[in-house]
Amino acid sequence: MAHTKNTNTVVRVGRPQNAAFMLMKAKKAFQHLPQELVDLIVDQLRDNPSALATCSLISWAWVPRSRHHLFRCLKISILESHICYDLLRHPLCTFRPFVRAVALKFKDVILDTKVYRPPEVWIASVLSKLKLDGTVTEFQAEDYRVLGVDCFWESLRTVAPTFTSHITHLRLCEFGPAWFFRFRALMHEFPAITSLYHSTSNPEFDPSVEASGYGENQHLAPPSLRSVVIATRGEVCPIQQGFSQLMWSWLLESRTSLSSLRLDGLITIPVGAPPDLQSLVSFRDYLNFLGPSLEVLNLHFRDKLSSIRFFNDVGLQSTTGLREFEFGNVPLFYDPENDQFLLPFFFLAMSRLWSKFPQQLNMRKVSVILQITPFDVEGLDFFNCADEELAAQAYRDLNTAFTGTLFPNLEELVFVVSLAEDDEVDRPPLDDSVLDKVATFLEGNLAKIMERGILIVSRGN
């Protein structure tokens, strides 16, 4: 049976178990094990990453190339980083050259009573060992706001530029700085970065200090940056609130020409918000600057009305270079508060959006993630729109938009049907009958698109 390699496999390096310690103590006796037996041990321990990492010391042969992908990514708890450091510096460690990504997790670091060295010392010791090979191109820091941004930044500066200059993909999870100029300074340590992922649920942010805080730290974005993902939760929106307020003006000031942009967690723009709301103006100005350079745009909305109101407040007419466009978490069925079928309203907003573009688009793929709640599936009649005339107009407009001259190169219009996430309720699997009903509905009302052969309906979860 053929084995499929998983290049995204994550190896978590924590405190090795007793069995792993026994293997390490017996390394001299096992150094001359037959390769077949080493392979067998690796296969048996592949679901026990701590033992797997320690097992690397038992044999000079270690693992064949077919198993190198097991060590592509090391996910290290900072509380156990000294163990990882011991493994990496050991002369028999053979997996280090195959590490391409490092993820440091800082959660609960302050609560640990066994910490005898400052966390930044551990960080620097681990990274300094990895930097010797120059193979690590992806770096992730998770939950490090518990340490403070300054602590994290100083630890990076101790290994820069040898380590940080090789990083092309940077993921900052739960990054919660009080001041944006610190973030700018941190980005300055990654001159080769091409992809930035930033996520946060922390609404605490004080933009009032920015004017005086920039001062000598007026660092621009790295010129190599081409892809940005901003994911937010809670009360934070990737456009309007918190940390992101200054992101767009910073990218514009830096003249950063992104080719890919993804925003997760978009929330409703307040009704009656002034058109000159600074955060919206900054975002619109940056989109206008990007113009045809932006090729991939993913917008994932958090609540039911965001996807409908969004296009009334944020224009996308300048993004004529788009090749892929994805709308995420669009409500398919009723809004429990208004007892209304919302999909036609989204179709109308979508059609109006396309009608504002002044020229043909080189779009290859448009994706829409349709979201269903278990309540929709169990209790309501599908597709019963109170305003039938409005619904009919919405379907006509969408048929016209996607079969006219605006999208001459469109190859796929994909509707992905998924169940809404709910942490408090166990979600049942998406029933095939629900998927069939959605497909039948879309094929019937989007007949012209269906005839063009570009309509696809698929299962999301």
Per-residue model confidence as pLDDT tens digits over 360-417:
888 999 999 888 766 655 544 556 676 788 888 989 999 998 998 889 999 999 999 8
- The whole-number pLDDT of residue 109 equals 52
pLDDT at 26 over 50: no
- DSSP H helical ranges for 131-259: 149-157, 180-187, 210-213, 247-253
**Portion of the chain with pLDDT greater than 70, in percent:** 52
Q: Which of 11-25, 163-177, 256-270, 344-358 has the lowest mean pLDDT?
A: 11-25
Query: What is the number of other CB atoms lying within 10 angstroms of the CB of residue 60?
Result: 13
Strand partners, 103: 75, 140
The answer to whether 144 touches 174, Cβ cutoff 8 Å, is: yes
Pairing of strands 260-266, 296-301: parallel
Top pLDDT among 210 and 249 is at 249
The pTM is what? 0.78
pLDDT at 320 over 90: no
Residue 398, SS3 per DSSP:
helix
For the residues 67-76, what does the mean pLDDT come to? 73
For the residues 246-264, what does the mean pLDDT come to? 91
- DSSP H helical ranges for 31-118: 35-45, 49-55, 81-89
- The whole-number pLDDT of residue 16 equals 41
Closest to 459 (Cα-Cα) out of 8, 437, 412, 403: 437
Domain boundaries, the chain: 1-167, 323-461
- The whole-number pLDDT of residue 169 equals 94
Separation of alpha carbons 270 and 312, rounded Å: 12
Looking at every residue in the chain, the average pLDDT score rounds to 72
Token representation of residue 129: 């060992």
Strand partners, 262: 229, 298
